[in-house]
């Protein structure tokens, strides 16, 4: 049976979003005879009925392109007056049989609630943070880790030349996956993550001991959501988005000040920020995004609504959306304490 399928991308953008869109449209149009409508700017486009046409032709050339051709936003229909009713009305008016929602915890959380109200949705997991449950990995994460690792590699040589400590801040609001992976891959002397409140005195002591042993320089990787013991989360503003998340950024400055004051070593800060989210996806992310896209349109045709496609044990499977959004997937303590920590100091 051919279907008319809507697609949206919501939340922070992420390398690989366009690869998912392309895969959904390609498999749907060629194998199922489907037609598509792209909703602009996440849930905002469903509320406002802001759309663009989508077919195989419209998807030419987008596989390696970062960002999303559909645009994105952090709009939450449940926080907009009349938002849910408007979104349902749009889907009805445009004869949308099913909606493929590509997003992280927040965007898919909305999809999960709508599924409970009998809206036909299928989810695709996206976030550079890799903090969605029920899937071993999300697309975008590999790209972010590679960007951060390359930055750390570059910082090593300048740090060595000047005998400095370099503090590198990476994204990761509640989960330190990027920090842990990039820190391991980049040979960091310390990795600070939101899951483990850190003792700044311990960090400074280990850095001092490391330099006393003859090291010329040190790299400290800190996730933006990391917090010191008995401290407050550093924020750049009190602003919160529609899902209640505060804007982060700046903990690296505090860590650098403290380390310099306690060790006397010259210390510099690099905040990678949105560089980690921009640009072309790695080959791994393109393949994963493509597999997710193909699986999502197949799920639509199997009537697997309220489900999300996921990667488990190298296979793409389906899981209930609720399993993905109920709890965040935080860094495995065995990876952090059993592997990353071996290289601290």
Q: Which residues are catalytic?
A: 129
Give the residue with the Cβ less far from ligand F6P, 126 or 210.
126
Contact 261, 245 (CB under 8 A): no
197 φ, ψ (degrees, to nearest 5): -60, 135
Helix axes 83-93, 105-116, angle to 10 degrees: 70
Give the residue with the Cβ less far from ligand F6P, 126 or 286.
126
Q: Is 42 in the site for ligand F6P (CB under 6 A)?
A: no
Contact 223, 258 (CB under 8 A): no
Q: Is 277 in the site for ligand F6P (CB under 6 A)?
A: yes
Looking up tokens 């709890």 gives 327
Q: Which two structure tokens, joined as six digits, stand for 295?
A: 């699986």
Which residue of 41, 127, 180, 263 would you call a contact of ligand F6P, by CB under 6 A?
127
C-alpha–C-alpha distance, residues 100 and 121, integer Å: 6
Q: Is 128 in the site for ligand F6P (CB under 6 A)?
A: yes
- Contacts with ligand F6P, 144-183, as mask; x by CB under 6 A: ---------------------------xxx----------
Q: Is 12 in the site for ligand F6P (CB under 6 A)?
A: yes
C-alpha–C-alpha distance, residues 91 and 256, integer Å: 50
C-alpha–C-alpha distance, residues 190 and 249, integer Å: 18
Give the residue with the Cβ less far from ligand F6P, 28 or 77.
77
Scanning residues 206 to 245, which ones bind ligand F6P (CB under 6 A)?
224
C-alpha–C-alpha distance, residues 14 and 141, integer Å: 8
* Beta carbon of residue 98, minimum distance to ligand F6P (angstroms, whole number): 26
Give the residue with the Cβ less far from ligand F6P, 122 or 171.
171
Residues near ligand F6P (CB under 6 A) are 12, 104, 127-129, 171-173, 224, 247-248, 277
């Amino acid at each position: 049976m051919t279907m008319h399928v809507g697609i949206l991308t919501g939340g922070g953008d992420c390398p690989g979003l366009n690869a998912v869109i392309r895969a959904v449209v390609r498999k749907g149009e060629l194998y199922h005879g489907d037609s598509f409508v792209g909703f602009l700017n996440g849930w905002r486009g469903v509320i406002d009925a802001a759309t663009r046409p989508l077919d195989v032709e419209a998807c030419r050339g987008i596989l390696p392109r970062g960002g999303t051709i559909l645009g994105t936003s952090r709009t939450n229909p449940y926080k907009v007056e009349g938002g849910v009713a408007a979104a349902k009305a749009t889907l009805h008016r445009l004869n949308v049989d099913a909606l493929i929602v590509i997003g992280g915890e927040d965007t898919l959380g909305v999809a999960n609630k709508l599924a409970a109200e009998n809206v036909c949705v299928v989810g695709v997991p996206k976030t550079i943070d890799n903090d969605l449950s029920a899937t071993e990995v999300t697309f975008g994460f590999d790209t972010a880790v590679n960007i951060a690792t390359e930055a750390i590699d570059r910082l090593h040589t300048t740090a060595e030349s000047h005998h400095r400590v370099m503090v590198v801040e990476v994204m990761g609001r509640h989960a330190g996956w990027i920090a842990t992976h990039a820190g391991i891959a980049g040979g960091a002397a310390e990795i600070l993550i939101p899951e483990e409140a850190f003792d700044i005195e311990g960090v400074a002591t280990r850095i001092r001991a490391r330099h006393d042993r003859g090291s010329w320089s040190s790299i400290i990787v800190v996730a933006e959501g990391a917090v010191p013991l008995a401290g407050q989360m550093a924020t750049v503003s009190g602003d919160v988005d529609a899902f209640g998340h505060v804007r982060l950024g700046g903990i690296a400055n505090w860590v650098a000040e403290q380390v310099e004051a306690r060790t006397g070593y010259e210390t510099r800060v690099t905040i990678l920020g949105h560089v980690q989210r921009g640009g072309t996806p790695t080959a791994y992310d393109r393949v994963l995004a493509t597999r997710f896209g193909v699986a999502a349109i197949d799920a639509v045709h199997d009537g697997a609504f309220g489900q999300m496609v996921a990667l488990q044990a190298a296979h793409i499977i389906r899981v209930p959306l609720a399993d993905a959004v109920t709890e965040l997937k935080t860094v495995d303590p065995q990876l952090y304490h059993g592997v990353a920590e071996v290289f601290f100091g």
